[in-house]
């Protein structure tokens, strides 16, 4: 059936955001500060000293943002909940006013026919918990499960899809090993401890979900195929290390109940042998895997880059985004099929995919033309379809991001949105990529079959 629709009617066409990146008003209505609030105020840690104090002012403009989602035809929206709005001290008393924000948002989405998909942790740990050791403190598994339980009780009936963590790899690598992200530590010994506690927290929250709510919960990871730069043994081993560290570390733990062997080699004395009881807690059945995909990596052995001993090799023929990431859509197909092979055929969602390309600070004649981003979406959506043809059970796709937003330590210098934000006025403008995505949604993906690589029908 050559013309059979690739994307079923039930397919979720979404866009994604996260709390600290878009909400603004970080301390409003009794919220407790997060590590990002503190990190972004520390001199020199973010580009231009940017903070999330205002961001996209979504905390006050969410109604308009839902209207824009409708205009694009989205039927799904992935957002995250700021732990510190719910529990200002991280544990203990619940802040009803913080909960109300998400209650209203979710009701607004449901009224608009948009399926909410909530992430419990997208990097904004309450500062009060960081002061108690944060992800290095084993108690955090209970703290997280308690917070999760509050959310499941409040909104478990109205939010059909939950994720425990967004990209635990980034939390550890950026927050505890290389220090570019909050809380900004650089410590070989801390990194595996943080990883392990993140995963224990994930397991504990999934357990809490099973006793409180009945729809779907999963884990969101960022994956990046690693291609050895040559057939030399040291490059092959480097690619295996890179793959273990980024792609298998979290999914092996969650789905197979073990960490990849290579981690012992990478961390050496800093590797704490986990107990069987911890691994049993981590390996909870989950209902889906969320995959964030941005780029691939061609990997070569590089002994100076400790502890991983590899570096990426730039591809002279490729397009690179503003964040220096190679555009490589076939790797999205590859990674989706790899997940299916390695972890079994379970529901998959592409929970983030997108690109930072330059856009001007203000719309020009009311328009933002972003042809490179249009190409990016066309090719990556085709790559998703290709994986589905190959048997991957992909049930939805979320563009990153709905709005230009606070790109962590890069501040507002990089724009990922399918909707442009003029940060001076908070004016939103749907970019050409947003209109393209809306057309793909309207035609249920048929547009992707009609256009060639250059966008001609």
Selected from 11, 14, 15, 18, the binder of ligand BGC by CB under 6 A is: 18
Nearest of 390, 396, 394, 392 to residue 441 by alpha carbon: 396
Reference 58, options 323, 404, 295, 328; nearest CA is 404
- Tell me if 50 contacts ligand BGC by CB under 6 A: no
Closest distance between ligand BGC and the C-beta of residue 408, in Å?
A: 6
Residue 273 falls in the annotated catalytic set: no
CA distances (Å), 447 to each of 14, 108, 401, 436, 444, in order?
A: 17, 30, 21, 9, 8
User: Is 166 an interacting residue with respect to ligand BGC (CB under 6 A)?
Assistant: yes
| Residue closer to ligand BGC, measured from CB, 170 or 383 | 170
Alpha carbon 316 to its chain centroid, in Å, reads 28
Stretch of 151-159, 163-171, 195-203, 230-238 lying at the interface with ligand BGC (CB under 6 A): 163-171
- If the CB atoms of residues 57 and 173 are measured against ligand BGC, the closer one turns out to be 173
Q: How far is the CB of 381 from ligand BGC (least distance, A)?
A: 18
* Interface pick for ligand BGC out of 170, 327, 363, 447 (rule CB under 6 A): 170
Backbone angles phi, psi at 202, to 5 degrees: -55, -50
Judged by CB under 6 A, which of 407, 415, 418, 431 binds ligand BGC?
Answer: 407
Q: In the stretch 219-238, what mask flags binding to ligand BGC with x, by CB under 6 A?
A: ---x----------------
Segment contacting ligand BGC (CB under 6 A): 164-172, 225-233, 234-242, 258-266? 164-172
Residue 23: exposure state from Cβ atoms within 10 A (0-12, 13-18, ≥19): buried
Q: Using CB under 6 A as the criterion, what x/- string covers residues 240-279 for binding ligand BGC?
A: ----------------------------------------
Return the number of the residue (73 or 184) whose C-beta is nearest ligand BGC.
184
446 given a catalytic annotation? no
Residue 62 or 293 having the CB closest to ligand BGC: 293
One residue of 292, 297, 429, 433 binding ligand BGC per CB under 6 A: 292
Q: How far apart are CA 118 and CA 412, in angstroms?
A: 24
Write the CA distances from 394 to 4, 248, 282, 353, integer angstroms.
Answer: 16, 19, 24, 14
Nearest-approach distance from CB 57 to ligand BGC, in angstroms: 18
Binding to ligand BGC (CB under 6 A): which residues in 304-363? 352
Give the sign of the dihedral formed by CA 407, CA 411, CA 413, CA 418: positive
Q: Which two tokens stand for residue 391?
A: 């048997």
Minimum separation from the CB atom of position 437 to ligand BGC (A): 17
Beta-carbon count within 10 A of 173 CB? 22
Residues 6+ apart with CB under 8 A from 201: 121, 140, 141, 143, 144, 145, 164, 165
Per rule CB under 6 A, is residue 400 in the interface with ligand BGC?
A: yes
User: Nearest CA to 120 among 279, 290, 348, 354?
Assistant: 290
In the complex with ligand BGC, the residue whose CB is nearer, 167 or 243, is 167
Start-to-end C-alpha separation, the chain: 21
From the list 167, 190, 224, 386, the catalytic residue is: 167
Cα 411 to Cα 17, 111, 181, 353, 454: the distances in Å are 15, 33, 11, 19, 32
- Our finding on whether 409 is near ligand BGC (CB under 6 A) is no
Q: Which residues make up the interface to ligand BGC (CB under 6 A)?
A: 18, 21, 166-167, 170, 222, 292, 352, 400, 407, 416
Catalogue the active-site residues.
167, 352
């Amino acid at each position: 059936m050559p013309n059979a629709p690739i994307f079923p009617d039930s397919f979720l066409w979404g866009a994604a955001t996260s709390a600290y990146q878009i909400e603004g008003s970080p301390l409003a209505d009794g919220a407790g500060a997060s590590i990002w609030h503190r990190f972004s105020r520390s001199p020199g840690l973010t580009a231009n000293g940017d903070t999330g104090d205002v961001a996209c002012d979504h905390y006050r403009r969410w109604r308009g943002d839902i209207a824009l989602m409708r205009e694009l035809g989205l039927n799904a929206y992935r957002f995250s909940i700021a732990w510190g709005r719910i529990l200002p001290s991280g544990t203990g008393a619940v802040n009803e006013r913080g909960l109300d924000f998400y209650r209203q948002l979710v009701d607004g989405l449901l009224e608009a026919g948009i399926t909410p998909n909530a992430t419990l942790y997208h990097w904004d740990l309450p500062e009060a918990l960081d002061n108690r050791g944060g992800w290095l403190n084993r108690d955090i598994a209970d703290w997280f499960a308690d917070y999760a339980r509050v959310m499941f009780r409040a909104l478990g009936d109205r939010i059909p899809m939950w994720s425990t963590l967004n990209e635990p790899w980034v939390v550890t690598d950026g927050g505890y090993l290389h220090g570019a992200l909050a809380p900004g530590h650089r410590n070989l010994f801390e990194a595996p401890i943080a990883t392990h506690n993140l995963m224990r927290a994930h397991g504990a929250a999934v357990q809490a979900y099973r006793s409180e709510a009945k729809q779907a919960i999963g884990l969101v990871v960022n994956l990046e195929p690693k291609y050895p730069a040559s057939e030399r043994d040291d490059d092959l081993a480097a690619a295996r290390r890179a793959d273990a560290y980024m792609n298998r570390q979290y999914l092996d733990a969650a789905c197979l109940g073990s960490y990849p062997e290579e981690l012992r080699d990478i961390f050496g004395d800093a590797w704490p042998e986990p107990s069987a009881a911890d691994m049993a807690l981590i390996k909870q059945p989950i209902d889906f895997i969320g995959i964030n995909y941005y780029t691939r990596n061609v990997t070569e052995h590089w002994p100076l880059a400790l502890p991983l001993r590899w570096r990426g090799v730039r591809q002279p023929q490729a397009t690179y985004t503003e964040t220096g990431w190679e555009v490589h859509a076939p790797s999205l197909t590859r990674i989706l099929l790899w997940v299916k092979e390695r972890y079994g055929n379970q529901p998959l969602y592409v929970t983030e995919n997108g690109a930072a390309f330059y856009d001007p600070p203000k719309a020009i004649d009311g328009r933002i033309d972003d042809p490179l981003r249009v190409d990016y979406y066309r090719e990556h959506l085709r790559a998703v379809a290709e994986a589905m043809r190959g048997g991957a059970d992909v049930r939805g796709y979320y563009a990153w991001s709905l709005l230009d937003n606070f790109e962590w330590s890069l501040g507002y210098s990089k724009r990922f949105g399918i909707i442009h934000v003029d940060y001076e006025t908070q004016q939103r403008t749907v970019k050409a990529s947003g209109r393209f995505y809306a057309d793909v949604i309207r035609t249920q993906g048929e547009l992707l079959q009609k256009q060639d690589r250059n966008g001609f029908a």
